[in-house]
Structure 1
Amino acid sequence: MAKEIFDFTAGLKKKLTIAFVVGAVLLLIGAMLPSGGHHEEGGDHGSDHVENTHGTDDHAAADSHDEGHGNALAEASGEGDAEAGHGGGWFKRFKIDFWINNVYFTGLAIIGLFFFAIQYAAQAGWSAYILRIPLAMSHWILPAGILMVITYFLFGHDIFHWTHSDLYPQLLENGQPNPHYDSIIAGKQAYFFWPLEGGSFPIFFILRMVIFFGAWYLLFRKLRSLSLAEDELGGDSYWFKMRKVSAVFLVIFAVSSSVSAWDWIMSIDTHWFSTMFGWYVFASWFVSGLAFITLVTVLLKEAGYLPQVTANHLHDLGKFVFAFSIFWTYVWFSQFLLIYYANIPEESVYFVERFLSDHYSPFFFANIVINFFLPFLVLMTRDAKRLNVFLKLVCVIVLVGHWLDFYLMMTPGTLGAEGKFGLTEVGMYMMFGSVFVFVVLSALSKFNLVPKNHPMLPEAKHHHI
């Protein structure tokens, strides 16, 4: 007999706890080892690219007293090597890695709600058996919002260069020109600080963050309550209500997902901007979310759950992962090609820092290989999209590969030549991942895996491609 409710066993909880502890141990080892668990090949690599990120030489030098971007310049030139090995350098990596992981797993949570909502808005029936998986992913929205606000107040000065108050006044109190003044960042002050002055409290930035998470969470709670009420009472009235709420969420998501990408990621490189960046982050989030949904579906089916899910349903999930891996590549290449071809300095510096830097160029090329070529080649055939072994392989590759994508988006603009990849990064990813999976599986164990009164269940049952 099919198991209708997921049994979150003590053994599975123990495995997730072990994964969390292993991640914490790797994080601590990274703190104790020289260079944070990464073999340092040289102290000067990429320092010229870091300098370009902040504009002029004067501006980079002016920031060297700060704990954030400025110290990366000093340490890249060899002045901070002793500190980077134990404490200062590692702790800065800890701060940035914490932000990277929170942004990445926030994306998985809201993509879960996005996938759930779009099935109702599109009146899709094929996915009725798996809808509770993306709904469970959305339970991470509240913890993610709390962590995001706390992380900003604790580490925001090190993550976001625009928070430095000395960048905004043109003149000092004595009437002399301010050597730290940055005209580009000062021109964007209203976007962060309105209605206050630049360099004060970024009320507009924080307000957007709170509103986005609040709206996502409230709509998630509404959709969840309607879905569970449908289980109890039946009828198609709840389906129509969820369709209306889903349409509202999709409109809000269309705006908030792009603006949050500008706020939480693109504003790290404050001098740089791309009109395609919101789409780029959405594509990376979406394919990662699809991979997680597919992976959980396959693993549940192998564990004896979801017997109604057939190779046809898995084929559709595989097609989504395949298609949106290509879509992500299309957006990546479009953004890169336009900037590369125009070769405008204020635009190209973003890719110069990643493409030509000894620190980041290996990740730049690995990003394309892992997130495009591997999913494309493995899932190209029809049979591969219907076989568990290939789906599991590609989904794991995508989940790791797009975390690397977010690492590459944020680390160069925050740590510059001090940025590394080692035990610290792996440990943080394991810790966040294990907690995220724990929350998702806990949610799955609290309601039926299949919405038993969903009006589209007959369509899902006879789904064939």
Structure 2
Amino acid sequence: MGNHNHTHNFTEQFTFSGKLKTWTLIAIVVGILAIAFGFVTGQQERTFANLLLMAYYFTCVCATGLFFIALQYVAQAGWATGLIRIPQAMSRVLPIASLILIVVCAAGLMTHNLYHHWNGEGLTDPASPNYDKLIAGKAGFLNVPFFLTRLVLFLGAYSFFAWLFAKYSQREELEGGLVFYDKSFKWSAIFLIVFGFTTPIWAFDTIMSLEAHWFSTMFGWYNFAAMWVSGLCVITLIVILMKKAGYLSWVNENHLHDLGKFIFAFSIFWTYIWFSQFLLIYYANMPEETVYFYKRWEPEYLPWFWLNIIINFLAPLLILMARDSKRQMNRMMFVCILLLCGHWLDYYMMIMPGTVESHRGFGIIEIGIAVGFVGLFTFLTLNQISKRSLVSTNHPFLEESINHQI
């Protein structure tokens, strides 16, 4: 196996063991205890809402790993080849994340702790005192069998593409040549079309339908922007932490700079969508649409409403604007952690006001379930990273990635 650069060990393999593995398992236990606490104390609605939040966040981050891989193939970009193992590992966790999300949504539907705005008793029955004309008009789309069918089809399709890309990557590493690169290129183009059309519907179903009387045609892209920024932050954070641990010697400040540019750009895009969704209600003179934002201006949510925009817009704008900021590991690590917390808050603001009618608050359930899912994601992703060498030696763009300079 010939090395492109003798200072790098391209057979390098990450070892996932010791304290790191122990801490991830402890975090998972904390999450399980927080879920149990929520149910035992009679806060089912709040517990389900937090389970949905973290299951959706978990699945979105894994799906971003898949999207990142496909984007590199279709753009024929070489810069990310040296760190592609990380999004590959995230994408291989996607089937597990998808299964958890489907179970949470199905259980929430059956117990009426989620989606009760359209899945309540008698809402579509004209003879019922609970009849809701607006919800009845949406019943052809918003009904339990069709809802779960869409969720399973979309997440099943994403998981299939994740398996396919992993298979092609392994074959490329074993056999070399351009055959499997070309196949990955072709299937990446197909995946991006599928993902582009289905991601907004996935967001409409899973999150927007929690408040089924309100809708926004921008909501899908608002969710996509949040998903993409969060996934990029996770990729960047893993790269930085692995470099600090002595791995990925071929990844340098130029790769970090490119990741920083993506994070900066799409944080601005997220803000554009966030503000457009907010502004268009005023601009189009639709007072009936203000109900969505009115809920988020209630006293317990108003501070979070403003903190959301401060963290997710002002922080990357002020910290990542300068070129040097995107090339410093510690500064990038701080921004990534901040934005991951910020987009957790973003999802919290999307889900909680329309879901949790009683037992509102912030405490053990929110923090514990978040810690549990972070532990689960870390355990599964690092376990996948440890299964293969940290670089694809037969990738046609490896040389370009190693010599990447901007």
Amino acid at match of 1:256: T
Q: Are 1:111 and 1:285, in contact at CA under 8 Å, matched by a contact in 2? A: yes
Mapped partners of 1:422, 1:215: distance in 2: 36
TM-score by length of 1: 0.82
Amino acid at match of 2:21: K
Aligned to 1:188: 138
Q: How many residues align?
A: 395
Q: Are 1:374 and 1:394, in contact at CA under 8 Å, matched by a contact in 2? A: yes
2:20 to 12, 19, 22: 12
1:87 to 13, 30, 41: 41
Mapped partners of 2:102, 2:244: distance in 1: 38
Superposition pairs of residues 162-181 of structure 1, within 5 angstroms: 162-171=118-127, 178-181=128-131
Aligned to 2:279: 337
Aligned to 2:389: 448
Amino acid at match of 1:205: F
* Residues 170 and 139 (structure 1), Cα distance of their counterparts in 2 relative to 1, 3 Å cut: same
Mapped partners of 2:135, 2:280: distance in 1: 24
Unaligned segments of structure 1, at least 5 residues: 33-85, 172-177, 194-201
Q: Are 2:38 and 2:46, in contact at CA under 8 Å, matched by a contact in 1? A: no
Q: Are 1:27 and 1:425, in contact at CA under 8 Å, matched by a contact in 2? A: no
Matched, 1:109 2:62: yes
Mapped partners of 1:366, 1:417: distance in 2: 23
Shift of 1:309: 0.7
CA displacement, residues 428-458 of structure 1 (integer Å, 9 cap, x when unaligned): 0000111011110000011121111110112
Matched, 1:405 2:358: no
Q: Are 1:272 and 1:350, in contact at CA under 8 Å, matched by a contact in 2? A: yes
Mapped partners of 1:334, 1:164: distance in 2: 31
Q: Are 2:260 and 2:332, in contact at CA under 8 Å, matched by a contact in 1? A: yes
Amino acid at match of 1:373: L
CA displacement, residues 66-106 of structure 1 (integer Å, 9 cap, x when unaligned): xxxxxxxxxxxxxxxxxxxx723x22211110011101111
Aligned to 1:146: 99
Q: Are 1:27 and 1:423, in contact at CA under 8 Å, matched by a contact in 2? A: no
Amino acid at match of 1:329: T
* Residues 400 and 380 (structure 1), Cα distance of their counterparts in 2 relative to 1, 3 Å cut: same
Shift of 1:304: 1.1
Matched, 1:123 2:76: yes
CA displacement, residues 238-269 of structure 1 (integer Å, 9 cap, x when unaligned): 11110011111111100111110000000011
Aligned to 2:214: 272
Superposition pairs of residues 45-444 of structure 1, within 5 angstroms: 87-88=41-42, 90-156=43-109, 157-161=112-116, 162-171=118-127, 178-193=128-143, 202-354=144-296, 356-416=297-357, 418-444=359-385
Range with bigger deviation, 133-142 or 100-109? 133-142
Shift of 1:149: 2.4
Shift of 1:126: 0.6
Shift of 1:15: 1.6
Mapped partners of 1:21, 1:217: distance in 2: 26
Mapped partners of 1:295, 1:7: distance in 2: 17
Q: Are 1:191 and 1:205, in contact at CA under 8 Å, matched by a contact in 2? A: yes
Mapped partners of 1:391, 1:95: distance in 2: 33
Mapped partners of 1:417, 1:319: distance in 2: 42
Amino acid at match of 1:357: E
Shift of 1:422: 1.5
Mapped partners of 1:347, 1:124: distance in 2: 42
Q: Are 2:281 and 2:287, in contact at CA under 8 Å, matched by a contact in 1? A: no
Aligned to 1:65: none
TM-score by length of 2: 0.94
Q: Are 2:122 and 2:129, in contact at CA under 8 Å, matched by a contact in 1? A: no
Q: Are 1:315 and 1:385, in contact at CA under 8 Å, matched by a contact in 2? A: yes
Amino acid at match of 1:426: I
Secondary structure of 2:300's aligned partner = coil
Amino acid at match of 1:448: S
Amino acid at match of 2:41: G
* Residues 370 and 417 (structure 1), Cα distance of their counterparts in 2 relative to 1, 3 Å cut: farther
Shift of 1:187: 0.2
Q: Are 1:23 and 1:429, in contact at CA under 8 Å, matched by a contact in 2? A: yes
Amino acid at match of 1:375: P
Shift of 1:27: 5.6
Amino acid at match of 2:132: D
Mapped partners of 1:148, 1:346: distance in 2: 32
Shift of 1:125: 0.5
CA displacement, residues 183-225 of structure 1 (integer Å, 9 cap, x when unaligned): 00000000023xxxxxxxx221111111111111111111100
